[in-house]
Amino acid sequence: MDSLKKKEKIIHTITTNSSNESIIDIGTEQNCINPSCFFCTMKEPDSMIRRAGLQNCFKELPFRDSQALALVLSGLWNIAMTQPDDPEFPSLGVFHCMASLIQKGIDNRSWLLKDQNIYIPYYAAHIIGSYTMNKVKFAEKAVQSGVIPPLMDLLRGKISWVEQRVAVRALGHLASFEKTFDAVAMYEEDVVKSAMQLASNCLEVVYSKFVGVRDAKERLKYHSDLLTRGVGGLDTENTKAEEWACQLQRWSLNLLNCFACKERSLNLICRQDFLRVLCEMWGGLVMNNVSPAGVGLIRILCYSKHGRKSIAESKEVVRSLCNLSRSSDDWQYIGIDCLLLLLKDQDTRFKVIEVSALFLVDLVELRSLGNRSNVGEAIARVLLFDYRQSMLKLKNNEVQKVMQEIWDLKVERRKREKTMTEEMVEERRVLAGLIKQQGNHMFWLGNIEEASVKYTEALDLCPLRLRKERVALYSDRAQCRLLLGNPDAAISDLTRALCLSTPANSHSKSLWRRSQAFDIKRLAKESLMDCVMFLNRCIKTETAKGVKIPYHAARMISKQMEATWLFANLNSKTSSNQSSRVQELDGDSENYDKQKHDENYDREKRFYLHLVLTATFACNFSGLSTIGNEGAERKMERARSKKAVVAPSMEGRWGSGLLRAEGEIL
């Protein structure tokens, strides 16, 4: 009874307020004379009569030529989205009805473009996907009702990317159940190739077909209406289109996951060109904490022999996994898992160890990551497995040095310090602190290299168990290395500092400094995530009523949001092409200036929207404000007056040098 009341409430809302709740502009007549009217049938109080009427309605809908058909589908969609586990409609033939309507739209172009029938295939596929996402018995009924062939036509792009989005969602749900996987696998090669193409090209398609179309009149109206539900302008459409593009990519990867988990079609999925694209699929903050995107599929591939072999042969993918393992990304642990799986396999171990060891060495003291404990110990065990034989096989002197460092840290030094008394530990702590103070003094005198040496001396002396003191020493030495123009060494030290912090990745200054170092290396995604974490730490430690966002952090967020924006590469390509075309026109400089002004204005708006998104992602702010640039400039002048060294390459990159937002040492 409660379920029926909810359905009646949804239907009432749609029919009485179609301008706000539905994209359909058709109203319902007060005195309906249609005996098979869906809305009238839903209001029938007798359950037996209502069920019989609905069953008859689902049989007739595919053959009905009514202007209200799209409104009916909109009502069914609302019910399916809010009550996907309700068995009533699936038991009365809704799947066969939806399959027939999709096929009719594909086969009969004139009918599809009549009235508002263009909305029907989208809604029909969405209804199928909603009812099949939780219940295997609904999925079985859907397959028996013949939904797969019409969904496959939508997946192949028979209408548009909007219908592909809901088709790949529905097929992903069907493929995720053991009992219905084989029905989808009957089209295995076609499904896998289509999903791979969608995952690889969907961003370009959404941008070229929608987001990149600046004139609202040139965009398909039904796309705009579906995205905004009739409410909102261009900004709302673009924001929603970005979200849908992420979903289209994510659901395509989910469909591929279903086959990769069963080690099916790995010869297609493990193609080198696709793997290279796969490791770049991130989805931004829109999906970062929701779905692991491309790296999720890479991890599944790492569980198979064929997958590990293919991944180990791709230097780009291995490097991407290494960068992920040393980031504060939500999926950092997936990068670590993948590398460990590759290192445990003797067939791939020595193909990846010379790259991965240089990154994983910084993580060997990581205690916990999320709900995973002893992460660093697991990394050290894998790297040091058959240590002496491994050292003989390694040809790279730098890697040999790193392996020796891990052995000394985890075996030799631990063994020596195990016998130390509390008095000896305290004595070393005091001595390391004195050397650190000397390093601080050297730093403020501008003797950056000497300061770095002092911090190294203090680190060698400081016992392993004094994690807090070592966090500060690693972070301070990293700052010196940044100023000396060595961002790689700085990232290594800062990662070690963040691994020693409790919880992991929680030391504010190390997060900010590593964000700078990643920026110098042009690793925008990693820089952005560190900056987001830095803001989060600022908020959590803020005691004043108003939360202040440092100016330099807001600036970094804007910069990296621009670089990691979902359509960044496509936008830059389009802008350069437009600029080239415009510059070829004689005497048209005024239009060119106006176009550039419009592009800059759009970019500034996007910066603001992304900053708000990031702030929301990090925490709910109250009393939001920004620290002005004056304080940063004063710190810079103070540092320069002390003759601090700033590397020329950094000076050019940052304008005022890396000390712009620093000026202090722990």
Each residue's pLDDT tens digit, 328-340: 999 999 999 999 9
Report the distance separating Cα 124 and Cα 120, nearest Å: 6
DSSP secondary structure string, 306-352?
HHHHHHHT-HHHHHHHHHHHTS--TTHHHHHHHHHHHHHSTTTHHHH
What pLDDT is attached to residue 661? 32
Cβ-based neighbours of 439, under 8 Å, separated by 6 or more: 450, 451, 452, 453, 454, 455, 458, 476
Q: What are phi and psi of 281, to 5 degrees?
A: -80, 110
Indicate whether this model's pTM tops 0.75. yes
Report the distance separating Cα 489 and Cα 495, nearest Å: 10
Report the distance separating Cα 51 and Cα 89, nearest Å: 9
pLDDT of 185 above 90: yes
Which helix (H) or strand (E) element contains residue 43?
none
What pLDDT is attached to residue 124? 97
- State mean pLDDT over 390-400: 90
Most confident of 169-178, 224-233, 599-608: 169-178
Cβ-based neighbours of 136, under 8 Å, separated by 6 or more: 177, 178, 179, 180
Report the distance separating Cα 101 and Cα 106, nearest Å: 9
Q: What is the pLDDT of residues 409-431, one digit of tens each?
A: 999 999 999 999 999 999 999 99
What pLDDT is attached to residue 206? 95
Q: What is the pLDDT of residues 338-347, one digit of tens each?
A: 999 999 999 9
Across the strands, what pairs with 372? 369
What pLDDT is attached to residue 576? 52
Local structure of residue 26 (DSSP, 8 states): P
pLDDT of 641 above 70: no
Predicted confidence band of residue 11 (pLDDT cuts 50, 70, 90):
low
CA 296 vs CA 244, 302, 383: distances in Å: 19, 10, 23
Q: Which tokens sit at 340? A: 């460990």
> With contact defined as beta carbons under 8 Å apart, do 124 and 102 qualify?
yes
Predicted confidence band of residue 540 (pLDDT cuts 50, 70, 90):
confident
Predicted confidence band of residue 635 (pLDDT cuts 50, 70, 90):
very low
pLDDT of 650 above 70: no
What pLDDT is attached to residue 664? 29
Start-end of H helices in 484-523: 487-500, 508-520
pLDDT of 502 above 80: yes
What pLDDT is attached to residue 551? 86
Report the distance separating Cα 172 and Cα 166, nearest Å: 10
Cβ-based neighbours of 256, under 8 Å, separated by 6 or more: 192, 195, 196, 199, 269, 297
Q: Which tokens sit at 37? A: 């009217």
Report the distance separating Cα 334 and Cα 51, nearest Å: 49
Separation of CA 328 from chain center: 13
What pLDDT is attached to residue 235? 87
Predicted confidence band of residue 119 (pLDDT cuts 50, 70, 90):
very high
What pLDDT is attached to residue 200? 95
Residue predicted with more confidence, 155 or 649: 155
What pLDDT is attached to residue 665? 27
Report the distance separating Cα 16 and Cα 82, nearest Å: 19
Least confident range of 60-74, 149-163, 453-467: 60-74
Report the distance separating Cα 42 and Cα 39, nearest Å: 5
What pLDDT is attached to residue 3? 60
Average pLDDT in the chain: 83
pLDDT of 264 above 70: yes
What pLDDT is attached to residue 538? 83
- State mean pLDDT over 367-391: 92
Q: What is the pLDDT of residues 446-501, one digit of tens each?
A: 999 999 999 999 999 999 999 999 999 999 999 999 999 999 999 999 999 999 99
Report the distance separating Cα 601 and Cα 37, nearest Å: 50
Tokens 């807001």 sit on residue? 554
Predicted confidence band of residue 7 (pLDDT cuts 50, 70, 90):
low
Nearest Cα neighbor of 138 from 191, 74, 94 is: 94
Report the distance separating Cα 487 and Cα 113, nearest Å: 58
Residue predicted with more confidence, 305 or 577: 305
Least confident range of 127-136, 354-363, 394-403: 394-403
Pairing assessment for the beta strands 625-626 and 548-549 based on DSSP bridges: parallel
pLDDT of 362 above 50: yes
Predicted confidence band of residue 64 (pLDDT cuts 50, 70, 90):
confident
Predicted confidence band of residue 25 (pLDDT cuts 50, 70, 90):
very low
Least confident range of 257-271, 600-614, 630-644: 630-644
Q: What is the pLDDT of residues 106-118, one digit of tens each?
A: 999 999 999 899 9
Least confident range of 147-151, 320-324, 413-417: 413-417
Cβ-based neighbours of 146, under 8 Å, separated by 6 or more: 96, 99
Separation of CA 494 from chain center: 23
> With contact defined as beta carbons under 8 Å apart, do 490 and 514 qualify?
yes
